[in-house]
Structure 1
Amino acid sequence: LTPLCPSCSALLPPPPPSTTYFALFGLEPTYAIDTRALKRSFLELQQKVHPDMFSGKGEVEDWAKAWSGKVNDAYKALLNERERGEYLLSLHDVTIGEADPVTDPELLMAIMEVREALEEAQTEDEVAQIRQRNKESRKATIDQLAAVFAASASSSPDLERARELVIELRYLDNIDQVCREWAPGKEVPNLQH
């Protein structure tokens, strides 16, 4: 997929809405992607479609804005592991709502324990340890999610398991956010939303 005409280098109309984020960057629709290659493709595409290059050119400027917006949205979604998982699920007509709860009792207990540990934390070092453990849990969840989607190369993916893992990532991301914003005496928000 190219934004420029191969023969005259003129900007082409934006791709149809059905164009996947993966197709924009010439990637296979899989969870495990080379983020460096993604960044290179992103920068190359943005260089070709940046609206400033088409300023004052009427419809072509509108096309550039549409291309640039889609490229930015695609890059942001594919770069973030959780958003990439959500996007892949959406390609299989599986959606995750903001309020979808954790159904795994062990994960729910772990989230409650982390919240309690954050409430009891007195120092930044204690919070740094919580954040490090969360980072390790997040990496393990990402690895599991990659394995679920990789298994789909030979069969259909376990969409329910992938959905559960993406929800888990959302909570782990929330924990990381709370750790970054932690301050002594500051109320710890609910980690379950």
Structure 2
Amino acid sequence: MAFDFSLDHFSLFGLQRTFALDSAVLESAYRALQTQYHPDRAASLPDADKRQALQAATRVNEAFQLLKSPISRARYLLQLVGVDTQEETNTKMPVAFLMQQMEWRETVADARASQDMPALDQLAEDLGKERRGLEAALVIDLDVQHDYEHAALTVRKLRFLEKLDQEIGDAVEVLLD
């Protein structure tokens, strides 16, 4: 029941280090490892082996959660090649993206003030399209062109969208209460 803690998350699941990945293959590999390293399988073993089984199961779960999230997977791939996305410190964005952000935030505020649930639904749908477009760009940046600087910018854009999506969710909750 030996577990190699030195493996990166992709190697752990037997996957290539790529942004584009087949979620069904990831899920299947996860279930196999989850079964193999489940702590219940070590119940009759010495305490040290039980601890290692628990650590292995925890690592498998953490790796799966990270890889199944596109933004986390992109961050991790960039980290593996030594690139920091600087999400907390680098807020420099293209002017067009910043203008779009302002428009989206105004839409959230207006929809919330006027209790316009359809406007929030439409904005959430629009953001979903934008997010999918940025994720498609990450496939090109990370897997094809290896343009890590542009990929880091795209991750920062996705982080903005993630925050905006949370604002929409908060506005919906207020309207539903």
- Structure 1 length-normalised TM: 0.82
Aligned mate of 1:132, from 125, 138, 154: 125
2:142 is matched with which residue? Answer: 149
Evaluate the alpha carbon distance shift between residue 98 and residue 133 of structure 1 in structure 2; reply closer, same or farther with a 3 A threshold: same
Q: Is the 8 A contact 1:102 1:167 kept in 2?
A: no
User: How many aligned positions are there?
Assistant: 170
Partners of 1:165 and 1:98 in 2: CA distance: 10
Question: What's 1:28 paired with?
Answer: 16
Counterpart for residue 182 of structure 1: 171
What do the CA deviations read for 1:60-104 (whole angstroms, capped 9, x no partner)?
Answer: 111111111111111011100000000000001112344131422
For 2:100, which of 85, 92, 110 is the aligned residue? 110
Contact 1:31 1:146 in 2 (8 A): yes
* 3-state SS of 1:94 partner: coil
Shift of 1:56: 5.3
Matched letter for residue 168 of structure 2: C
Contact kept, 8 Å, 1:50 with 1:65, in 2: the verdict is yes
Could you give the per-residue CA deviations for residues 132-171 of structure 1, whole angstroms, max 9, x where no partner exists?
A: 110000010000011112214xxxx111001001111111
- The one-letter code matched in structure 1 to 2:124 is R
* Corresponding residue of 1:4: none
Q: Which runs of 4+ in 1 moved over 6 A?
A: none
CA RMSD of aligned residues (A): 1.7
| From 8, 14, 26, the counterpart of 1:38 | 26
Aligned equivalent of 1:161, options 150, 154, 158: 150
Q: Which amino acid aligns with 1:135?
A: G
Structure 1 residues 14-93: aligned runs within 5 Å: 14-17=3-6, 19-55=7-43, 57=45, 58-93=47-82
Q: Deviations over 1:90-141 (max 9, x none)?
A: 0011123441314222111111111111000121111001111100000100
Cα 1:119–1:45, aligned 2, differ >3 Å: closer, same or farther?
Answer: same
Q: Which runs of 5+ in 2 are unaligned?
A: none
Q: Which AA in structure 2 matches 1:29?
A: R
Q: Which runs of 5+ in 1 are unaligned?
A: 1-10, 187-193
Q: Does structure 1 conserve the Cα–Cα contact (< 8 Å) formed by 2:9 and 2:63?
A: yes
State the distance in 1 between where 2:27 and 2:164 align.
27
Q: Normalising by structure 2, report the TM-score.
A: 0.89
Q: Using the alignment, how far apart are the partners of 1:108 and 1:94 within structure 2? A: 23
Q: Report the residue type matching 2:36 in the other structure.
A: K
